[in-house]
Structure 1
Amino acid sequence: MKLIRFFTKILLIAIVPLLAIDGLRKADLALDPRSGNAYLATFIDKMHLLDSVPSPRLILMSGSSMAFGVDSDLLSKELEIPVVNAALHFNLGSKFMMEQLKSTVKKGDIVLITLEYITTSQGQHEEQLIVSDFYPSAKKWVHFNSISNEIGAYTTHRLSDCRLLIGEFWAGTRSKPISIEDTTSVFFRKCFDKNGDLIGHLNNAQPTFINPELSTATDFSEQIKDLNDFATFAKQKGVTVLFTFPSYIEAGYEKNMAVVKKIENQYRTQLKFPILGSPENSVLDDSFFFDNVYHLNSQGRKIFTSRLIQLLEQEGV
């Protein structure tokens, strides 16, 4: 009996603070406009576009490479089809992204997918749980290996929330406004346009250094399984699925060519739907990138979009 009481106390000591943090975070999301302007809160708007733009339409899905790197207005004008840019963050993982698409695609849609060379299948639970805070239905797309893994992820997530709140209060940044007009902010909800393109960086000064390193495993088998699983689902719905390679900085490609070629070979031998172009088609000069090896600047996004148009027209889109 004493042992039961002891473990009950331990459980309460662990759970009560987390519940308090959870309530504080939910209140913060509801009451603070700045929280509602967080970068991952854009998921709400991306889902609204996916739910509301009529089919047939062209849907773009990737991490942030196509969020930064595509001019959807130009794409729509040239291909004469509505475009929804659903790209957001590579750390959501390919499994999560494909589950998101399954919930929204309709007959007649064309889905163009690309995965940055650092994308994993599982993704990062922290980013997925942040998205779920803003868009609760996304919780069912978050996959855990075990109960202990799930408990650990939620605990870490809420402790991270607490650290963020305390840090922002301490730094006095809770009410700092962020808008598309400023020339410093990039990652926030209102930095996206009506199509889902990220445009907040277009009027910002470009960083002076971009690290071309590629830190990733070279086995993309699980990611490809996720894509093939979605393609099977999509075929039954009358949806066309296509793949292309992500925009990538030339210095990074030269340094990591062997890795990229190995990944390309996996796609060529395992992917069960059409591949448009090659990694080389998506490599651009270093001067066309903004703050990392995948994020294109204003000039770069025009070039990359033009290349996408050419590839899609060759495919008959």
Structure 2
Amino acid sequence: MQRAALLNLAAMAAAIVAGIAAYLLLFATLVHKPLTLDIMGAYIDQKQRIMDATPSPRILILAGSNGRFSHSCAQITQDTGIACANLSTTASIGLKYQIDAYIDRMRPGDLLYLPLEYYDPAYPMRDDVGDEGAYLVHAAARRLPEIYGWRGVLRALFSFDLRFAISAVGEMLLERAGIDRRTNLATMNAHGDETGHTDAKAQAYRARNAALPKLSVSKQSFEDADYWSKVSLQLARVRARGVIVVGGLPTTFDDTEIAPEALVLLSRHYAAAGGCLLVLPNRSLYPRSYFYDASYHLTESHQHAHSSLLAPRLAAVLKAGGCPPAGVEP
């Protein structure tokens, strides 16, 4: 009886090991998302090339898709004569992964502007692992330990489920059929900005934008010590390179409710990291009709108008060599 029990236990263990091996083999070598995840690597590679071609001292913009759609380095350069590179991709990528990708190319005297999307404590990025974790499992698994440590590696390796597999197979079929994303490398300009999201194209999304729920930004979003300690750690790495750090507000609908205490806390976070917070008089809030296909995506014309409001303020901080003692006034 004891021998039979041991054999059963060994068979169960072998089945578990085989199941884990098959799971990892499936997602590390076969199933992937070419349209929504693999594009991240292509974006990062292209933006690294843009950094290499952009002289210092320069303005660098880093956020999620709000940074890409709503901010125009082309406009900032036109307005100020200062070189500018837009490093933004998507908010679902971890900040650590992005800083790792760009920090060796940052130079003393550069200004890094971060209009990061509002953080939602209900959807935290555990162990700094964002959507890039699944991408790296397939594209560069050997890099996982150096980026995240063992906890992050486990989180990345076991982030897949049946829903992911089904959507991945769908994307692979779409790619094979020659269907591409609406936005891709072809819609990015030489500065790294998103282009082509015109007011005319936005008409198709007007009803959708109007139906989106109102965003509420509470002070609780800025009281998450674990999240902001991780952000501060990345900002400290940037400051150690001699880079000026300026925080900003993301663009969103003008019916967004922002608690006054929230901006006070956000300003303190940047000040503690040796930077400052730039708040425009309109707090980067615009009518829903100014947006393309989402609350964080201004249309191209308003992208340029918003960037023109930012341009002289960012230029003043860059030329001064750092943030003023009291931060950046509107």
The alpha-carbon deviation at position 232 of structure 1 amounts to 3.0
Q: 2:48 is matched with which residue?
A: 47
The alpha-carbon deviation at position 282 of structure 1 amounts to 1.1
The alpha-carbon deviation at position 78 of structure 1 amounts to 2.2
Q: 1:294 is matched with which residue?
A: 296
The alpha-carbon deviation at position 242 of structure 1 amounts to 1.2
Give the Cα–Cα distance (whole angstroms) in 2 for the partners of residues 177 and 205 of structure 1.
Answer: 21
Q: Is the 8 A contact 1:242 1:274 kept in 2?
A: yes
The alpha-carbon deviation at position 153 of structure 1 amounts to 3.8
Partner secondary structure for residue 156 of structure 1 = coil
Q: 1:174 is matched with which residue?
A: 176
Q: CA-to-partner distance for each residue in 1:148-175, whole Å, 9 max, x for gaps?
A: x7445423337555323433467x6632
For structure 2, the residue ranges without an aligned partner over 5 or more in a row are 1-5, 320-330
Q: 1:264 is matched with which residue?
A: 263
| 1:87 matched to 2:84 | no
- Pick which of 53-62 and 98-107 moved more: 98-107
Q: 2:10 is matched with which residue?
A: 4
Q: Is the 8 A contact 1:109 1:240 kept in 2?
A: yes
Give the Cα–Cα distance (whole angstroms) in 2 for the partners of residues 10 and 264 of structure 1.
Answer: 49
Paired amino acid for 2:184: F
Q: CA-to-partner distance for each residue in 1:189-227, whole Å, 9 max, x for gaps?
A: 432222111114236343023214327773324444344
Paired amino acid for 1:9: A
Q: Within 5 Å, which residues of 2 pair with 1:21-36? A: 21-25=27-31
Q: 1:309 is matched with which residue?
A: 311
| 1:241 matched to 2:245 | yes
Partner secondary structure for residue 290 of structure 1 = strand
Distance 1:187 1:229, change over 3 A: same
Paired amino acid for 1:275: L
**TM-score scaled by structure 2?**
0.75
- Pick which of 120-129 and 283-292 moved more: 120-129
Distance 1:13 1:66, change over 3 A: closer
What is the aligned counterpart of 1:122 among 121, 125, 134?
A: 125
Q: Is the 8 A contact 2:80 2:312 kept in 1?
A: no
Q: 2:71 is matched with which residue?
A: 70
Q: Is the 8 A contact 1:40 1:130 kept in 2?
A: no
What is the aligned counterpart of 1:285 among 281, 284, 287?
A: 287
Partner secondary structure for residue 10 of structure 1 = helix
The alpha-carbon deviation at position 11 of structure 1 amounts to 1.0
Paired amino acid for 1:237: R
Q: CA-to-partner distance for each residue in 1:69-109, whole Å, 9 max, x for gaps?
A: 12221211222222111111112234444444434312232
Give the Cα–Cα distance (whole angstroms) in 2 for the partners of residues 99 and 36 of structure 1.
Answer: 18
Q: Is the 8 A contact 2:202 2:291 kept in 1?
A: no
Partner secondary structure for residue 264 of structure 2 = helix
Give the Cα–Cα distance (whole angstroms) in 2 for the partners of residues 232 and 264 of structure 1.
Answer: 20
Give the Cα–Cα distance (whole angstroms) in 2 for the partners of residues 176 and 73 of structure 1.
Answer: 31
Give the Cα–Cα distance (whole angstroms) in 2 for the partners of residues 127 and 40 of structure 1.
Answer: 11
Q: Is the 8 A contact 2:292 2:299 kept in 1?
A: yes
Partner secondary structure for residue 92 of structure 1 = coil
The alpha-carbon deviation at position 60 of structure 1 amounts to 0.4
What is the aligned counterpart of 1:188 among 177, 184, 208?
A: 184
Paired amino acid for 2:242: G
Q: 1:154 is matched with which residue?
A: 157
Give the Cα–Cα distance (whole angstroms) in 2 for the partners of residues 137 and 201 of structure 1.
Answer: 37
Paired amino acid for 1:122: M
Q: CA-to-partner distance for each residue in 1:215-262, whole Å, 9 max, x for gaps?
A: 7773324444344333433333221111121112112x2xx232xx23
Q: Is the 8 A contact 1:57 1:110 kept in 2?
A: yes
Q: Is the 8 A contact 2:72 2:86 kept in 1?
A: no
Partner secondary structure for residue 113 of structure 2 = strand
CA RMSD of aligned residues (A): 3.4
Q: 1:57 is matched with which residue?
A: 58
**TM-score scaled by structure 1?**
0.78
Distance 1:50 1:138, change over 3 A: farther
Paired amino acid for 1:300: H
Structure of greater Rg: 2
Paired amino acid for 1:270: H
